[in-house]
């Protein structure tokens, strides 16, 4: 095989190509990236949080009591947005309120854990707080200061004397009487950059070197039904002021991981924030619960759209406004007086492109453009292979001269093989593409080398078209073992481990080897032309050549135009069904062979 660049035809390409798609699906937020160890800290779980209205999903979910009376009350709550709280009647000291965490609490010997709770007590006593393992051994313990007759925050630092993967929290009021407790929280002292996210998971995302983070979805952004639309303003401020929401993937969102935390995470990993707000319509424009295409269609009633549009303008002010603006002030109060520098905003997610959608989308788009002309607005065209919304979405994008639209598709490896020219014919004068959700799916199987190489193949073809494709993000990003609604995902995890997939390795290799200039390549001599693809990009200092060989055999390759004695070489190869293979890097001569079923990356100085 010969691969030769055409140095005269270099073109500028997007410097935003590889990003991440974060959606609270598969317990990605509570019990996942958000480092809170207490499940249902706000006593807000409801049967309706679950698709099948599971009665065990009530305000006591994940809590238990022993030796005291535990009920739920909501009289004189800490805040109206979080009314239910735990009411304890203690007759005899020694009774306990117990939380099991998200399938157990993980403790690391020698590490500190920060406990806090809002407490109100008729007896102004103290609370003993313990972390206890399965055998009943106390692994950490402390006693709070006195509670008051009015709500007061009690805090403690607990140090674990042993490891445990299945500890529980116990609260033991130290005086008889009535006790009210809410927002009972336990965080590891060590979180990512000290900002409340689980260190190992956040680091795995940071290692992708994503240029942007899209949040909070996906379908979570538009919800299933008008009342389930994700409203950013309900997710900021003190925890008790945030409004929890049923997650349409069948669980509960505390909103502890809210817009402030998302913006801060983006800043912490050097990625552009790309929030996506609903276009005034929920999933499938379905007015009521459930993404029911056949159901009653509707969006936010037009008489309420002014308020909704204002809320989106407020979001931009929250991210970028001066601290003397109402929402800039809220950001400063949360601890970030500097603006977050929001540049992108998505409007809508895979919506049905109907009149209901269009009327609301135009209203939002025009209002944002009028007030914030520099914000880049991303429209939505949905999955190109499902119905007419892709076509209709693109028509609307052309009519409105949108800057970028969000495309989604999940396809088989065969589709990626046979659609390598998908973007070649896209109109360079039209809207740019944000490929906001994609992945290679083999029905019934997880991410393996075959799907990962298909994604690499697609990204090679996207790099060739990165004058029209501006951004891409694999979806979904995270999935917790045993709590997964969607497969495959990029990073699996449980309470103790992070398990990146082969697809993750591909995303990382592309994220860490991106460029801003693309050089076309003449490729000849492949046994099957579809099975050998390559791209050549340049960053400021280096050229980076990526080659995918999907043949089952080694290929001879002529790269004699690379005159360097040594290059940085990274190879990902193995059996197609391998789910654990890792890339191998070395300093090497310019190779003359490409491994079977491989992605090879060569990096060399300009
Ligand atoms: O990525 C999972 C889901 O797929 C997203 O929530 C939705 O936008 C798409 O249908």
> Residue 400 CA to chain centroid, in angstroms?
29
Give residues with Cβ within 8 angstroms of 104, minimum separation 6: 164, 165, 166, 167, 168, 495
| 8 Å CB contact between 169 and 105 | yes
Please report the pLDDT score of residue 290 as a whole number: 60
- What distance in Å separates the CA atoms of residue 293 and residue 282, rounded to the nearest whole number? 11
Q: Among the options 100, 272, 350, 455, which is catalytic?
A: 350
- Per-residue pLDDT tens over the stretch 182-222: 999 999 999 999 999 999 999 999 999 999 999 999 999 99
| 350 catalytically annotated | yes
Please report the pLDDT score of residue 51 as a whole number: 82
**Relative to the CA of 221, which ligand 1 atom is closest?**
6
Please report the pLDDT score of residue 363 as a whole number: 98
**Relative to the CA of 23, which ligand 1 atom is closest?**
6
Ligand 1 atom 8, closest CA: 218
Radius of gyration of the chain measured on its C-alpha atoms: 26
Nearest C-alpha neighbor of 330 from the set 318, 341, 339, 320: 318
Please report the pLDDT score of residue 291 as a whole number: 65
- Per-residue pLDDT tens over the stretch 436-493: 999 999 988 789 999 999 999 999 999 999 999 999 999 999 999 999 999 999 999 9
Please report the pLDDT score of residue 444 as a whole number: 81
- Per-residue pLDDT tens over the stretch 250-300: 999 999 999 999 999 999 999 999 999 999 999 877 666 566 556 667 899
Compute the 3-state secondary structure of the chain and give helix, strand, coil in percent, each to the nearest 5.
25, 35, 45
Please report the pLDDT score of residue 383 as a whole number: 79
Domains annotated on the chain, with CATH: 2-13+517-605 (2.60.40.1180), 20-33+192-491 (3.20.20.80), 47-188 (2.60.120.260)
- Per-residue pLDDT tens over the stretch 148-164: 999 999 999 999 999 99
Read off the tokens for 88: 């304890």
Cβ of residue 348 lying under 6 Å from some atom of ligand 1: no
Ligand 1 atom 6, closest CA: 218
**Relative to the CA of 217, which ligand 1 atom is closest?**
6
Read off the tokens for 470: 């501006």
Strand partners, 380: 406
Least confident of 8-22, 292-306, 366-380: 292-306
Cβ of residue 24 lying under 6 Å from some atom of ligand 1: no
Please report the pLDDT score of residue 385 as a whole number: 72
**What's the pTM?**
0.97
Give residues with Cβ within 8 angstroms of 227, minimum separation 6: none
Give the pLDDT band of residue 382 (cuts 50, 70, 90): confident
Ligand 1 atom 7, closest CA: 218
Ligand 1 atom 9, closest CA: 218
Cβ of residue 410 lying under 6 Å from some atom of ligand 1: no
């Amino acid at each position: 095989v010969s691969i030769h660049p055409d140095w005269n035809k270099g073109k500028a390409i997007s410097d935003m190509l590889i990003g991440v798609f974060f959606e609270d699906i598969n317990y990605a937020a509570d019990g996942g990236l958000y480092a809170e160890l207490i499940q249902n800290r706000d006593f807000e779980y409801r049967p309706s949080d679950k698709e099948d209205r599971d009665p065990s999903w009530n305000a006591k979910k994940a809590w238990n009591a022993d030796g005291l009376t535990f009920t739920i009350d909501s009289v004189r709550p800490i805040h109206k947005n979080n009314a239910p709280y735990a009411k304890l009647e203690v007759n005899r000291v020694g009774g306990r309120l117990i939380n099991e965490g998200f399938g157990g609490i993980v403790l690391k010997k020698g590490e500190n854990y920060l406990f806090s709770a809002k407490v109100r007590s008729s007896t102004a006593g103290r609370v003993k707080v313990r972390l206890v393992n399965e055998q009943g051994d106390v692994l950490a313990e402390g006693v709070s200061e006195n509670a008051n007759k009015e709500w007061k925050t009690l805090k403690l630092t607990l140090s674990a004397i042993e490891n445990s993967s299945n500890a529980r929290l116990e609260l033991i009021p130290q005086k008889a009487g009535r006790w009210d407790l809410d927002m009972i929280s336990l965080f590891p002292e060590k979180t990512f950059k000290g900002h409340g996210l689980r260190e190992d998971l956040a680091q795995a995302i940071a290692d992708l070197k994503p240029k942007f983070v899209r949040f909070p979805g996906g379908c979570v952004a538009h919800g299933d039904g008008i009342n389930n639309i994700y409203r950013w303003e309900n997710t900021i401020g003190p925890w008790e002021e945030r409004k929890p929401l049923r997650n349409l993937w069948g669980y509960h969102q505390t909103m502890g991981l809210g817009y402030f935390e998302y913006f801060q995470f983006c800043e912490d990993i050097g990625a552009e924030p790309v929030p996506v707000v609903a276009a005034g319509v929920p999933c499938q424009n379905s007015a009521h619960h459930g993404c029911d295409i056949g159901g009653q269609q509707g969006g936010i009633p037009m008489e309420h759209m002014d308020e909704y549009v204002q809320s989106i303008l407020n979001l931009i002010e929250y991210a970028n406004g001066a601290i003397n603006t109402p929402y800039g002030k809220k950001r400063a109060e949360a601890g970030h007086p500097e603006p977050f520098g929001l540049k992108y905003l998505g409007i809508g997610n895979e919506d049905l492109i109907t009149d209901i959608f269009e009327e609301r989308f135009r209203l939002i788009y025009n209002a944002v453009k009028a007030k914030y002309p520099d914000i880049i607005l991303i429209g939505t065209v949905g999955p190109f292979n499902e119905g007419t919304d892709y076509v209709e979405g693109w028509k609307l994008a052309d009519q409105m001269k949108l800057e970028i639209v969000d495309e989604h598709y999940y396809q088989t490896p065969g589709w990626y093989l046979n659609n390598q020219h998908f973007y070649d014919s896209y109109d360079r004068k039209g809207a740019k593409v944000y490929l906001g959700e994609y992945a290679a799916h083999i029905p019934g199987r997880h991410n393996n080398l075959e799907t990962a190489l298909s994604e690499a193949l697609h990204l090679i073809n996207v790099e060739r078209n990165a004058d029209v494709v501006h951004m891409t993000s694999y979806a979904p990003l995270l999935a917790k073992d045993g709590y997964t609604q969607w497969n495959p995902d990029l990073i699996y995890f449980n309470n103790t481990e992070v398990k990146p997939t082969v697809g993750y390795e591909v995303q990382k290799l592309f994220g860490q080897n991106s460029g801003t200039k693309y050089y076309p390549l003449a490729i000849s001599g492949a046994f099957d032309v579809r099975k050998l693809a390559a791209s050549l990009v340049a960053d400021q200092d280096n050229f980076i050549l990526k080659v995918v060989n999907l043949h089952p055999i080694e290929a001879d390759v002529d790269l004699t135009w690379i005159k360097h004695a040594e290059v940085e070489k990274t190879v990902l190869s193995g059996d197609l069904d391998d789910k654990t293979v890792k890339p191998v890097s070395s300093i090497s001569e310019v190779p003359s062979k490409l491994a079977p079923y491989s992605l090879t990356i060569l990096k060399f100085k300009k």
